[in-house]
């Protein structure tokens, strides 16, 4: 009788314990957080607005009077729609409102709608280093977007290579990005149409663009702000008409100062029968800042539009300004900038010296 009761007690204990052990075996490890696959959409906006007074050259109005051109402008108005289908699939759609300036267009002078960004992104963090992704669609090009993340004055004017018409900030294509481990740098490469988001692809030629960035001393409090970047764009106007760009950048980021040096070399031959034109130039800039939101802007660009020309073909640009960045939280940015810009051209690209005084405003959220 006693043996029967003992056997019953042992069998009951095993019945209660085995399920508990089985459950314990499938319990996630301590600290594990499953990825959030909840779909989400975030809406933001970017606005560039300004008042610009052109000191020179003066213009002549319809009545023959010599006057200084001046105007209130909205140069950019983006609606940013970012979303996640899951932790792997993301997207962005950014309509761009800009002024139509095409000669002969019935919309000349009107603010028109166009697409600046529209891409699908596959996040590859589950299989590669954090910050790895692939994109398809109209998206940021590798070097312009990178530099503008450090030089944050696009609302005054674009960076050197884009302002001189050699690169665009966005284009349709497919690209891949990954970070190096331990914050040592990154690589961004892709194939693009090559003519920019605002133009139609005219033929079968595609641009291969690649940027590699190295942070040589990522652990130091100050030295981690130094980054060395190389960029190459291999493109063609047509089969035997090269369109190539190469850039070298040295940038520095610190809570009291951002600065950069950009050297650019290009080769262009619009048709196979035309002699290739080689251009060289550089841009150097600095944005010292205080803890009160006041920040300076100092920039100098130099371009030799044709280094093989027998006559001078230079353009120099100087910008100086002072900005106030309003206090903010998170990714919100708001700023006012008062700046003076002078552009002087010589030789084969001779044009009247331009002198402008402007107040620029930025809203970004």
Q: Is 34 helix (H, G, I), strand (E, B) or coil?
A: coil
Q: Where are the domains of the chain?
A: 43-103+113-364
pLDDT at position 2 is 45
321 Cα distance to chain centroid = 22
Q: Which two tokens stand for residue 140?
A: 């940021």
pLDDT at position 10 is 42
Name the pLDDT band for 21 (thresholds 50, 70, 90): very low
Average pLDDT, the chain: 88
Cβ-based neighbour number of residue 364 at 10 Å:
19
Cis peptide before 57 (omega within 30 of 0): yes
Spell out the residues 6+ positions from residue 160 whose beta carbon is closer than 8 angstroms to its own: 262, 264, 281, 282, 283, 301
pLDDT at position 346 is 86
Q: ∠ CA(320), CA(74), CA(326), 5° rounding? A: 55
pLDDT at position 312 is 73
| H helical segments located in the chain | 2-26, 142-148, 160-163
| pTM listed for this prediction | 0.85
pLDDT tens-place string over residues 245-266 = 999 999 999 999 999 999 999 9
Q: Which of 280, 322, 317 is nearest to 299 (CA)?
A: 317
pLDDT at 349 over 80: no
Q: What is d(CA 232, CA 151) in angstroms, rounded to the nearest whole number? A: 20
CATH number of 43-103+113-364: 2.40.160.10
pLDDT at 198 over 70: yes
* DSSP sequence for 100-159: ---TT-TTTTSEEEEEEEEEEEEE-TTTSSTT-EEEEEEEE-HHHHHHHTTS--TTT---
Strands 66-67 and 207-214: unpaired
pLDDT at position 30 is 56
pLDDT tens-place string over residues 130-182 = 899 999 999 999 999 999 999 999 999 999 999 999 999 999 999 999 999 99
């Amino acid at each position: 009788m006693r043996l029967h009761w003992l056997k019953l007690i042992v069998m009951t204990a095993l019945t209660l314990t085995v399920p508990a052990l089985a459950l314990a075996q499938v319990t996630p490890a301590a600290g594990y957080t499953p990825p959030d696959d909840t779909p989400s959409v975030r809406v933001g906006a970017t606005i560039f607005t300004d008042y610009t007074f052109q000191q020179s050259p003066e213009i002549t109005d319809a009545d023959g009077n010599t006057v200084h051109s001046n105007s209130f402008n909205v140069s950019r108005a983006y609606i940013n729609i970012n979303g996640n289908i899951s932790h792997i699939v993301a997207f962005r759609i950014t309509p761009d409102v800009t002024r139509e300036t095409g000669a002969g267009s019935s919309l000349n002078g009107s603010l028109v709608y166009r697409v600046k960004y529209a891409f699908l992104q596959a996040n590859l963090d589950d299989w590669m280093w954090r910050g790895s992704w692939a994109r398809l669609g109209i998206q940021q090009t590798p070097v312009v977007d990178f530099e503008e993340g450090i030089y944050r004055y696009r609302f005054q004017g674009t960076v050197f290579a884009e302002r001189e018409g050699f690169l665009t900030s966005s284009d349709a294509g497919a690209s891949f990005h990954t970070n190096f481990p331990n914050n040592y740098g990154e690589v961004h490469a892709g194939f693009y149409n090559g003519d920019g988001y605002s133009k139609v692809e005219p033929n079968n030629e595609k641009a291969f663009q690649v940027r590699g960035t190295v942070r040589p001393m990522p652990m130091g409090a100050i030295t981690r702000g130094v980054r060395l970047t190389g960029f190459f764009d291999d493109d063609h106007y047509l089969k035997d008409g090269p369109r190539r760009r190469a850039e070298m950048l040295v940038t520095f980021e610190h809570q009291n100062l951002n600065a950069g040096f950009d050297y650019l070399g290009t080769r262009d031959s619009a048709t196979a029968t035309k002699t290739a034109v080689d251009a060289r130039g550089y841009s150097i800039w600095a944005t010292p800042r205080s803890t009160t939101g006041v920040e300076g802007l100092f920039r100098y660009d130099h371009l030799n539009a044709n280094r093989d020309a027998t006559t001078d073909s230079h353009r120099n640009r100087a910008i100086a300004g002072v900005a106030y960045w309003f206090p903010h939280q998170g990714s919100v940015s708001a700023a006012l900038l008062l700046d003076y810009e002078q552009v002087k051209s010589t030789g084969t690209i001779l044009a009247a010296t331009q002198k402008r005084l402007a107040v620029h405003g930025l809203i970004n959220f």
